[in-house]
Structure 1
Amino acid sequence: MAKTIGLNAIEMQYLRLSLGLSQAQVAELTKQTEADVIAWEAGEAEIPGLAQKTLLDLDDTIEMQVLNTCDGIEELFKKEPKRHLAFVVYPTQALYQQYNPEFLSALPVTELYNTAAWRIKKECKLVLEVDVSLVALDVESYKAFRETNGMGESRDARAKWAATQLK
């Protein structure tokens, strides 16, 4: 016998909001209609188990990224103590896809990546007492930074560029 997850309407709505997704995005990710999502959140229709699982799996993926990233930051700070970091976030889906193809299978939309960055920011502040600033990627500024510093495209280069935006 299959175990049901059993999210109610308000839990489903808050899960969606905690992921930073619109009703239309939930519909797309769960392969349902936006009207279905609206009905679930209003308590007018049963939420399919697969839709619940899809969103809960995304939430779990984000939480794993938060834990792994915070563990990595903690290790880094044992060698090189800092109290402030910058994380790049992506203002559009096109930029996210261009710079993060490796995350598209786990976090298929920008909002999920940016939600992970927000949660990392909060976790770092609470647990590690490290301030994290979220910096929206400005492509022209980033390209100029890379050219000036003789860098290629990489996550490390984006992180270094983001750090320069804090000054």
Structure 2
Amino acid sequence: MSKNAGLNAIEIKYLRLSVGLTPAQVAELSKATEEDVLAWEAGEKPVSGLAEKKLLEIDEIIEMQVLNTCDGIEELFKKEPKRRLSFVVYPTQAIYTQYNPEFLSSLPLTELYNTAAWRIKKECKLVLEVEVTLVPLDVEGYKAYREKEGFKESRESRAKWAATQL
């Protein structure tokens, strides 16, 4: 048997698209140029092993987050049946970075977090028959809600705010 031949041009392109990254972001992650990424995707150059490794790692991290989150939702709904949820997503990298320092090592880009949220939404609908709405964080609206309710900044406070947006 031969070794794994690696990803071909179409596979690398669709893997990039499936995690929601631009060619420039892949270039930055793989220490290459955007032109290199476009050449890999066009089949003009062999795909960088580092790029392939990074994209596959990111995809695996997102999938693990989806599985863990969906398992948690399933457990929660055994105790407290609901059929609607909301998840906060982040419109810019600055807002994502400010509110999610705990994810920066595993999902360093807002696009990756938002891709995970999108996949969770799809999985919840298909497997758990739960409707998930992705709610973009409105910083000023969220701050006003927190002040009104007397909440401190936390993931739980953002989730409660997002639920009010449905």
Structure 2 length normalisation: TM-score?
A: 0.97
Q: Is 1:97 the counterpart of 2:97 in the alignment? A: yes
Aligned to 2:121: 121
Cα deviation per residue 1:94-140 (whole Å; 9 max; x = unaligned)? 00000001101101110000000000000000000000000000000
Percent of aligned positions with the same letter in both sequences? 77
Aligned to 1:161: 161
Q: In the alignment, residue 147 of structure 2 is paired with which amino acid?
A: E
Aligned to 2:10: 10
Provide the C-alpha distance between the structure 1 equivalents of 2:31 and 2:104, rounded to a whole number of angstroms: 17
| C-alpha RMSD over aligned residues | 1.1
Q: How does 1:128-143 map to 2 (within 5 A)?
A: 128-143=128-143
Q: Flag as ranges the 4+ runs of structure 1 deviating above 6 A.
A: none
Aligned to 2:50: 50
Bigger mean CA deviation after superposition, 30-39 or 130-139:
30-39
Provide the C-alpha distance between the structure 1 equivalents of 2:22 and 2:5, rounded to a whole number of angstroms: 22
What are the ranges of 5 or more consecutive residues in structure 2 without an aligned counterpart?
A: none
SS in 1 for 2:125: helix
Number of aligned residues: 165
Contact preservation (8 Å) 1:5, 1:49:
no
Provide the C-alpha distance between the structure 2 equivalents of 1:27 and 1:4, rounded to a whole number of angstroms: 23
Q: In the alignment, residue 65 of structure 1 is paired with which amino acid?
A: Q
Provide the C-alpha distance between the structure 1 equivalents of 2:47 and 2:126, rounded to a whole number of angstroms: 34
Contact preservation (8 Å) 1:93, 1:109:
yes
Aligned to 2:144: 144
Provide the C-alpha distance between the structure 2 equivalents of 1:117 and 1:141, rounded to a whole number of angstroms: 21
SS in 1 for 2:21: coil
Deviation at 1:82, TM superposition (A): 0.4
Contact preservation (8 Å) 1:9, 1:40:
yes
Aligned to 1:22: 22
Contact preservation (8 Å) 1:27, 1:37:
yes
Deviation at 1:50, TM superposition (A): 1.7
Q: Against the structure 1 CA distance between its residues 101 and 5, is the aligned structure 2 distance closer, same or farther, given a 3 Å change threshold?
A: farther
Deviation at 1:48, TM superposition (A): 1.5
